[in-house]
């Protein structure tokens, strides 16, 4: 870890220009965003940036001293490779602070054509060891890596001890049961790979339907869940559906819950985490504002006095309101048996 690298920057999601402004106005050190196509892994209708809003977003953030990171974190296909190259060119032309990449071929293009452009390794690259991160640094000049949400904090610390590359961790938001960057589960239902189409459980395949048995959610016709009148109907993803298994209906793969690692902030500061990432580009500007404000307060508090840090009850209450299933988990970061 370099003595000059940042510590606990707050990187927040921007699925739209209003969300970007909400993040900046409520204390984000940086935002991450994508274009309105499948070059990014949140390729949903109504989200993301066209040329005009991207230029305005970059101007708004950088005028206030905040960073803009562009996600180009899907995998190009031969017939559409020019689209990804054009996106890298656009990022360089407009002056984003970094691009977030998963595909080695795209990294090679960016380094060759735009050597001044800062490169971050996406979580979609699934680099879980310092040896993997070294490969991307030596070959492509990667300066920051976003780690998948599958490592314990002790394993994260081992990575940091053995690489000069900045390490970014997810701190709050939705979880993925699969090894990130390698999940094809929704493609079996929809025919669109999340890693190339840019969306898990894409919107065109999603349906909500009120039935006599309750509100049903379906993905390309497949029943994912059924909700009683008092339950909130969630977005239908296969890994978080309730299925009948041997006569019992339950969350067979993963319960809907949100990662919330706030209680581990003192440890994260001490081991040298460069940045905390908030998941949720598909969420509303109100969500972004609320979560950014809470995490800004928490990060400021732990930096003021790491040993006296305490989570405030109103922080937890605010985060619970916007958590999946109104539940929190430390995910893989905390493994008390190890």
DSSP string, 148-184: PTTS-HHHHHHHHHT--SEEEEEEEEE--SSPTT---
Tokens coding 329: 């988990």
Domain termination site, one of 197, 218, 251: 251
Are residues 68 and 160 located together in one domain of the fold?
yes
Are residues 111 and 239 located together in one domain of the fold?
no
Model confidence pLDDT, tens digit, residues 259-287: 999 999 999 999 999 999 999 999 999 99
Taking the CB of residue 230, how many other CB atoms lie within 10 A of it?
Answer: 5
Are residues 66 and 86 located together in one domain of the fold?
yes
| pLDDT score, position 326 | 79
With residues binned 3-state (H G I as helix, E B as strand, rest as coil), the percentages for the chain, rounded to 5, are: 40, 20, 40
Are residues 233 and 283 located together in one domain of the fold?
no
Domain span holding position 243 = 185-251
Residue 245: what are its φ and ψ, rounded to 5°? -130, 115
Which burial class, exposed, middle or buried, applies to 162 when counting CB atoms under 10 A from its CB (0-12, 13-18, 19+)? Answer: middle
| Among 56, 62, 1, residue whose Cα is nearest residue 31 | 62
192 lies in a domain?
yes
180 lies in a domain?
no
Positions of the chain with pLDDT under 70? 1-3, 177-182, 337-338
Q: What is the CA radius of gyration of the chain?
A: 20
Are residues 215 and 95 located together in one domain of the fold?
no
Domain count, the chain: 2
Domain termination site, one of 194, 222, 251: 251
Are residues 131 and 200 located together in one domain of the fold?
no
- Per the listing, tokens 């949720």 go with 280
- In DSSP notation, 25-37 reads HTT-SEEEE-BSS
Are residues 48 and 115 located together in one domain of the fold?
yes
- Domain CATH for 266: 3.20.20.70
Q: What is the pTM of this model?
A: 0.91
Are residues 77 and 212 located together in one domain of the fold?
no
Sign of CA dihedral 113, 117, 123, 127: positive
Please report, for residues 57, 119, 147, the alpha-carbon distance to residue 53 in angstroms, rounded to integers and kept in the order given.
Answer: 6, 22, 29
DSSP class of 49: B
Are residues 47 and 116 located together in one domain of the fold?
yes
Domain termination site, one of 225, 251, 277: 251
| Residue 192 · residue 38 · CB < 8 Å | no
| pLDDT score, position 178 | 62
Are residues 162 and 265 located together in one domain of the fold?
yes
Are residues 195 and 282 located together in one domain of the fold?
no
| pLDDT score, position 177 | 65
| pLDDT score, position 3 | 58
Residues composing the chain: 338
Are residues 44 and 170 located together in one domain of the fold?
yes
């Amino acid at each position: 870890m370099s003595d000059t690298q940042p510590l606990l920057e707050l990187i927040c999601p921007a699925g739209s220009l209003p969300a970007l402004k909400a993040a900046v106005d409520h204390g984000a050190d940086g935002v991450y965003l994508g274009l309105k196509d499948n070059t990014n892994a949140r390729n949903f209708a109504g989200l993301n940036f066209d040329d005009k809003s991207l230029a305005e977003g970059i101007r708004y953030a950088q005028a206030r001293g905040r960073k803009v990171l562009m996600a180009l974190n899907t995998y190009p296909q031969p017939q559409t490779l020019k689209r990804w190259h054009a996106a890298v060119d656009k990022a360089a032309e407009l002056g984003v602070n970094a691009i977030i990449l998963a595909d080695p071929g795209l990294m090679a293009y960016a380094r060759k054509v735009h050597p001044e452009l800062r490169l971050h390794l996406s979580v979609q690259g699934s680099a879980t060891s310092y040896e993997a991160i070294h490969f991307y640094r030596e070959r492509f000049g990667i300066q920051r890596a976003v780690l998948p949400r599958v490592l314990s904090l002790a394993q994260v610390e081992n990575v940091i001890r053995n690489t000069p590359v900045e390490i970014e961790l997810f701190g709050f938001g939705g979880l993925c049961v699969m090894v990130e960057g390698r999940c094809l589960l929704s493609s079996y239902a929809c025919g669109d790979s999340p890693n190339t189409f840019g969306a898990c459980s894409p919107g065109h395949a999603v349906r909500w339907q009120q039935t006599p048995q309750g509100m049903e959610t379906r993905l390309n016709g497949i029943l994912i869940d059924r909700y009683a009148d008092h339950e909130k109907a969630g977005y239908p993803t296969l890994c978080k559906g309730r299925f009948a298994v041997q006569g019992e209906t339950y969350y067979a793969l993963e319960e809907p819950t949100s990662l919330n690692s706030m209680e581990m902030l003192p440890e994260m500061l001490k081991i040298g985490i460069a940045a905390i990432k908030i998941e949720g580009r598909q969420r509303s500007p109100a969500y972004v504002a609320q979560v950014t404000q809470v995490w800004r307060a928490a990060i400021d508090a732990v930096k003021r006095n790491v040993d006296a840090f305490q989570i405030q009850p109103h922080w937890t209450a605010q985060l619970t309101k916007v958590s999946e299933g109104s539940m929190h988990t430390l995910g893989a970061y905390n493994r008390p048996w190890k």
